[in-house]
Amino acid sequence: MIARRDLAVRLTARAPLSPTCFRLTLAAAEPLDAIPGQFGMLACGPGFDPLLRRAFSLAGVSRSGGGTEVELLVKEVGKGTRLLRTAPLGDELRLLAPLGNGFDLTPGPAPLALVAGGIGLPPVLFAATVLAARGERFDLYLGASTGAELIETERCGALAAAAGGELVTTSDDGSRGESGFVTAALERRLAAGRAYSRVLACGPNAMLAALSRLAVSRGIAAELSLEEPMGCGVGVCLGCVVELAEGTYVPACKEGPVFAAARLAERWWL
Amino acid sequence: MSAALATRVGALELANPVMAASGTFGYGLDLIEFCPPERLGGIVSKGLSPRPRIGNPTPRIVETAAGMINAIGLQNIGVEAFCRDALPQLRGRGATVAVNVFGERMEEYVAVIDRCEREAGVAAYELNVSCPNVTAGGIEFGHDAAQLERLTAMCRARTARQLWVKLSPNAPDLVGTARAAVAGGADALSLINTFRAMAIDADLRRPVLATTCGGLSGPAIKPLALRMVWEVHRALPDVPLVGIGGIESGRDAAEFLLAGASAVQVGTAIFRDPRAPLRILDELAAFCAERGVADVKELIGGLRCR
């Protein structure tokens, strides 16, 4: 297991990606290693409101000098993320990372299907970066509610191309890419005979549920990165539990956030 | 000059007054690289029942202004797994351990204590009679003085170890329940547990939590908790108290000691900062040093009321 640290990080860059999403670059003086799918708990500001840190999947981690550059993709949804959108560059924040288990990226039969919905992209982008660097084949499916909310399409396209695969973009409103849900785009290709050894995915729960059904019906193993409201990120508050097929609740922050679809309670993906 | 930090809760000597509160520090070993349990005054385990409990459905937590509401429902690994997996390590590290005890029936509290009595390394039991998030047991004992006295006496009969009762701020008569716990044989009282509370999603017109209501913790409750510690201390000045409720800094800890607590527990702050109990201890030591307080015990009950 990679050692967790509570890092002082400096906000060094922020770039808008869509009407609601932006990219944050954080610089830490210390080295940090992480696996795609792992996350960090970021204190979004000083004071007691918001009280809790926010959980963000890491979109990229790279060594920079003796330190680390951490990339996060953020969607503004409330108080904490609003603070992150307006915080001055140079601000020092605290990031507890890396947390959780991450995707299983053990080299295996290709190709993989990487599937992201909306702001579920960060762990999928990180996985694509690692897989592309290793020269493993994958197709990347990226969907959003509207065309304007499709983010990082150029990077995703370059990574998929480098991996000898395809970037498939979809929007629910049909304004960009294929029209409809990203899971439908995947289903069309499976029906046309395209085969995948595994699916790695992150996105809204409804998308992951649809993806679970699709993967299970086709006998493809799926690993899903789940989002749950997290209090602590380290397994002590037991707020972010996920129900497993065996009937127990386990904290997504510690046993996840990546789960094999087959491990989850049927209720979860019905 | 650095202040002497040792304190005493009843017959229990603590190396310092800062403990980790039940339900916020796992079984004492989850955050060892940030907060080694042996460096704290003590740790209180997650509430333990005779058998594992799976807890409540989700959503279980929601953030509110300067606070959070939880409805975990006492999910825990059960006393057997605690004694087998966690306690030996805590003992090996020299941590001072209080076991938080929960049952749906009085006999279940006794069963948890009986199991722990077979193990070395448990300094105290903290009876959880104040969890607002379970329908059976717990709170019904914490709100009724006669039942609380009976439960405390039943537990008292099973152990010579320190016996604490964690009081509910939701009880109609706080001082009355405090007296009942003492009459039943409690050595000390810890207070307070969370305040029954709710959050509503106005867009969906639904409660946020799956259980509708939960327990509020965090800085939002600190003034209420201070008042309750002070009230119980004033009514029962000889009963040792452990203060709990929204402690985020060494100065907050000092306030609880001044109100009459002999030690404090840090809870929700740990979710914000995994090092919180140690940081608060350092801050409390600095608070004393800066004011020429030679011994932290000087603060206990030291409030000067007009």
Tell me whether residues B274 and A234 touch, CB distance under 8 A. yes
Our CA-based measurement puts residue B281 at a distance from the nearest CA of chain A, in whole angstroms, of: 18
Q: Listing from the earlier edge strand, what are the strands of the sheet with A221-225?
A: A178-179, A167-171, A138-144, A112-117, A198-202, A221-225, A258-260
Q: Do B64 and B46 meet the contact criterion of CB atoms below 8 Å apart?
A: no
Spatial CA neighbour of B38 closest among B15, B13, B4, B59: B15
Domain that holds residue B287: 7-48+95-192+218-299
The CATH number of residue B269's host domain is: 3.20.20.70
Q: What is the pLDDT of residue B154?
A: 97
**Within 10 A of A267 (CB to CB), how many other CB atoms are there?**
8
Q: Do A224 and A208 meet the contact criterion of CB atoms below 8 Å apart?
A: yes
Phi-psi domain of A66 (left: phi exceeds 0; alpha: psi -120 through 50; beta: other): alpha
Q: Do B142 and B126 meet the contact criterion of CB atoms below 8 Å apart?
A: no
CA atoms of A72 and A58, how far apart (whole Å): 6
Active site residues of B: 131
Position B9, amino acid: V
What are the chain B neighbours of A248 within 8 Å (beta carbons)?
54
Rounded to the nearest integer, the mean pLDDT of chain B is: 95
In which band, very low, low, confident or very high, does the pLDDT at A267 lie, cut at 50, 70 and 90? confident
Over 90: is that where the pLDDT of A91 sits?
A: yes
Nearest to B72 among A53, A229, A238 (CB): A238
Fold of A112-225: Rossmann fold (3.40.50)
Please provide the CATH number assigned to the domain covering A5-99: 2.40.30.10
- Determine, yes or no, domain membership for B265: yes
Q: What is the pLDDT of residue B134?
A: 65
What are the chain B neighbours of A236 within 8 Å (beta carbons)?
23-26, 30-31, 270-271
- Domain chopping of chain A, boundaries: 5-99, 112-225
Over 70: is that where the pLDDT of A99 sits?
A: yes
Q: What is the pLDDT of residue B130?
A: 77
Tell me which of A61-65, A148-152, B49-53 is least confident.
Answer: A61-65
| Pairing of β A138-144 and β A112-117 | parallel
Our CA-based measurement puts residue A22 at a distance from the nearest CA of chain B, in whole angstroms, of: 23
In which band, very low, low, confident or very high, does the pLDDT at A268 lie, cut at 50, 70 and 90? confident
Span A147-169, mean pLDDT? 97
Q: What is the ipTM of this complex?
A: 0.94
Q: What is the pLDDT of residue B48?
A: 97
Contacts of A222 (CB under 8 A, 6+ apart): A198, A199, A200, A201, A211, A212, A215, A216, A260, A261, A262
3-state helix, strand, coil in chain B (%, to 5): 35, 20, 45
B28: closest chain A residue by CA: A236
Rounded to the nearest integer, the mean pLDDT of chain A is: 95
Spatial CA neighbour of A29 closest among A92, A73, A85: A92
- The structure tokens 């980790």 sit at B20
Span B118-128, mean pLDDT? 97
- The structure tokens 């076991």 sit at B99
Q: What is the pLDDT of residue B206?
A: 98
In which band, very low, low, confident or very high, does the pLDDT at B1 lie, cut at 50, 70 and 90? low
More confident call, A101 vs A216: A101
How do residues B184-202 score in pLDDT, each as one tens digit? 999 999 999 999 999 999 9
CB-defined contacts A:B, below 8 A: 88
**A96–B contact, CB cutoff 8 A:** yes
What is the number of domains present in chain B?
Answer: 1
Q: What is the pLDDT of residue A64?
A: 86
Over 90: is that where the pLDDT of A13 sits?
A: yes
CA atoms of A37 and A57, how far apart (whole Å): 6
**A221–B contact, CB cutoff 8 A:** no
**A52–B contact, CB cutoff 8 A:** yes
Nearest to B55 among A43, A49, A241 (CB): A241
Our CA-based measurement puts residue B254 at a distance from the nearest CA of chain A, in whole angstroms, of: 19
What are the chain A neighbours of B33 within 8 Å (beta carbons)?
3-4
CA atoms of B268 and B248, how far apart (whole Å): 8
Compute, in degrees rounded to 10, the torsion defined by CA atoms A260, A261, A267, A268.
Answer: 80
- Determine, yes or no, domain membership for B76: no
- Determine, yes or no, domain membership for B176: yes
How do residues B221-230 score in pLDDT, each as one tens digit? 999 999 999 9
Q: What is the pLDDT of residue B137?
A: 62
CA atoms of A262 and A252, how far apart (whole Å): 15
Kindly give the interhelix angle for B250-259 and B276-290, rounded to the nearest 10 degrees: 70
How do residues A162-202 score in pLDDT, each as one tens digit? 999 999 999 999 999 999 999 999 999 999 999 999 999 99
What are the chain A neighbours of B74 within 8 Å (beta carbons)?
none
Q: What is the DSSP string of A44-71?
A: -SSSSSS-S-EEEE-SEEEEETTEEEEE
Span B116-124, mean pLDDT? 98
Chain B residues with CB under 8 Å of a chain A CB are 23-26, 30-31, 33-34, 54-55, 57-68, 70, 72, 75, 218-220, 248, 268, 270-275
Nearest to A229 among B59, B66, B274 (CB): B59
| 3-class SS of residue B279 | helix
In which band, very low, low, confident or very high, does the pLDDT at A124 lie, cut at 50, 70 and 90? very high
Q: What is the pLDDT of residue B135?
A: 59
**A249–B contact, CB cutoff 8 A:** yes
Q: What is the pLDDT of residue B138?
A: 64
Tell me whether residues A48 and B219 touch, CB distance under 8 A. yes
pLDDT above 90 covers a percentage of chain B that reads 93
Tell me whether residues A237 and B219 touch, CB distance under 8 A. no
Q: What is the pLDDT of residue B133?
A: 62
Q: What is the pLDDT of residue A191?
A: 96
Maximum Cα–Cα distance across chain B: 57
- Determine, yes or no, domain membership for B222: yes
CA atoms of B194 and B177, how far apart (whole Å): 16
CA atoms of B99 and B25, how far apart (whole Å): 12
CA atoms of A165 and A162, how far apart (whole Å): 7
Position B246, amino acid: G
A46: closest chain B residue by CA: B272
Tell me whether residues A52 and B63 touch, CB distance under 8 A. yes
Tell me whether residues B268 and A51 touch, CB distance under 8 A. yes
Our CA-based measurement puts residue B180 at a distance from the nearest CA of chain A, in whole angstroms, of: 31
Q: Do A80 and A54 meet the contact criterion of CB atoms below 8 Å apart?
A: yes
Give the distance from CA B267 to its chain's centroid. 8
Over 90: is that where the pLDDT of B207 sits?
A: yes
Q: What is the pLDDT of residue B67?
A: 98
- The structure tokens 């995994």 sit at B274
Q: What is the DSSP string of chain A?
A: -PPPEEEEEEEEEEEE-SSSEEEEEEEESS-----BTBEEEEE-SSSSSS-S-EEEE-SEEEEETTEEEEEEEEE--SHHHHHHHHSPTT-EEEEEEEES--------SSPEEEEEEGGGHHHHHHHHHHHHHHT--EEEEEEESSGGG--SHHHHHHHHHHTT--EEEEETTSSSSEES-HHHHHHHHHHTT---SEEEEES-HHHHHHHHHHHHHHT-EEEEE-----SSSSSSS--SEEEBTTS-EEEHHHH-SEEEGGGB-HHHH-
Our CA-based measurement puts residue A78 at a distance from the nearest CA of chain B, in whole angstroms, of: 11
Span B42-47, mean pLDDT? 98
Q: What is the pLDDT of residue A108?
A: 87
